[in-house]
Structure 1
Amino acid sequence: ANARDAMASGGVFTISTGLLEECDSFYNFNAPPGRYGVVIISDNGKGMDAETQSRLFEPFFTTKEVGKGTGLGMAIVYGIVRQHKGLIKVMSSPGEGTTFSIYLPLGENKECVLGENPVAAAPEQGSETILVAEDDPSVRNMVNMVLTKFGYRVILAENGQDVVDSFTANQENVGLVLMDIIMPKKNGIEAFAEIRKLQPEAKVLFTSGYTSDFIQSRGMEEGVELLMKPVQPVQLLRKVREVLERQIN
């Protein structure tokens, strides 16, 4: 989307991949030795000045007009790359386009030995009511499908105000609120505060592309339950069951 906006009148957009062994330039980034998979994304759009580059990965920073960008896209990309112990570099100059280089460490090839590890147990079924708040329709539908298939009753909400209203109307039946941190109208942190005022012992599980440290820096209390995106169905089901069965102190 950023490349598209940078080339409003057209241009060249390229994606290339490759492998890279340890190199001297990595020492400046404290990268461990080893082999890296590389993804290079380039455009020949309007480019960025040094000040914009220095703030590029800050959450909520954007150079776009109001309503045309949230300032979250690059922050999420940075968070995902770092969660995979990777690196991301940007090279850009005004009028000369932009190149992002993403380096992801490759795991060592290991021979698979059948029976070496026990097979993980299948996720447990449930019957509780779960209030799901997610503004991305594809994610919301996936979560709804997975939870419903495993026996849960699901109430869907599309934004922060919607989840507060739905909880208010159904708080006696809701066993768990599953919601994103970043949503329209009210973010997850604001909705969480209102829900806890209504029911101090309400169980809430957040989903986010951000780390727990970043979320706490935005005002979230320690000890909140967090499931990192992208959410995998089995991981989702196990975490939901874990939070539902945990006793409130």
Structure 2
Amino acid sequence: MSRTPRPGPRPGRYPVRFGTAELLRDADRGNAWLVSVDGVAQSYVDLDDPANLEFDYVRRFGDVVDQLPPGPVDALHVGGAACTLPRYVAATRPGSRQLVFDADGELVELVRAQLGLRVPGLRVRVTDGRAGLATRREDSADLLVVDAFERATLAGGLATLEATRATAGILRANGVYLANITDGSGLPFARRFLATLLAVFPEVLLLADPAVLKGRRFGNLVFAASAAPLPTAEIARRTASAAFPSRCVDGAELRKLAGRAKPITDEDAPPPPQPPNDVLGLF
């Protein structure tokens, strides 16, 4: 008996917890899709080629992941949307075990229905990021990724010293923490987030577009942190030769960037940066 083929994704607008999601097909790639919420890009997924990373900051995530020791990893992702990076990890590191926490249950169900979530080794759980972190065992992850935004701003409580210490406890001795944040002129939030990471992890590096790093425009900044030495030279070479090169900052230069900024805490948390309206569609 033949089975009815599963219908393909349907472009359209769908209500979700944090607004209205829109699913758009990439006109240049037949089975690649952009997911946005209230006009803010959330994920780009190529169902035919999960290794195709469209967003620059996700490529920087991929650059770091590719430098991890060979073989499968145990990964925890706080913030999932269409699960672009988990799909990449599953494709490039077969046998990996991955868990995604996402607070938007309606968006998770939309992605499951339209783009599929039957990715080997992947589980998705609907929960707040901090609540999810509290359920994880110590020394249980090789990779922990925070990329959780609500209405274009970083989900609350994920950038604090308390959350960062919890993250460090979940990671194994050689584990790597990856985080995506956004900031603009003067990088006030990024400097405090950097100070937070430096208070917990002995090894930290930053990847960003030079214009964003200089505070000339609003954009993404990717941080990598670990208790073990990071392959900074290899990551720097790769990001410098990318189609849209990023700067890799570490060591004394990174500490200079942090300056006298104070770590973010649950009791002293600044409001997350608000992107200008003219750049909302970029993130």
Structure-1-length-normalised TM-score: 0.34
More strand per residue: 2
- Flag the structure with larger Rg: 1
Q: Which has the higher contact order (CA 8 A, sep 6+)?
A: 2
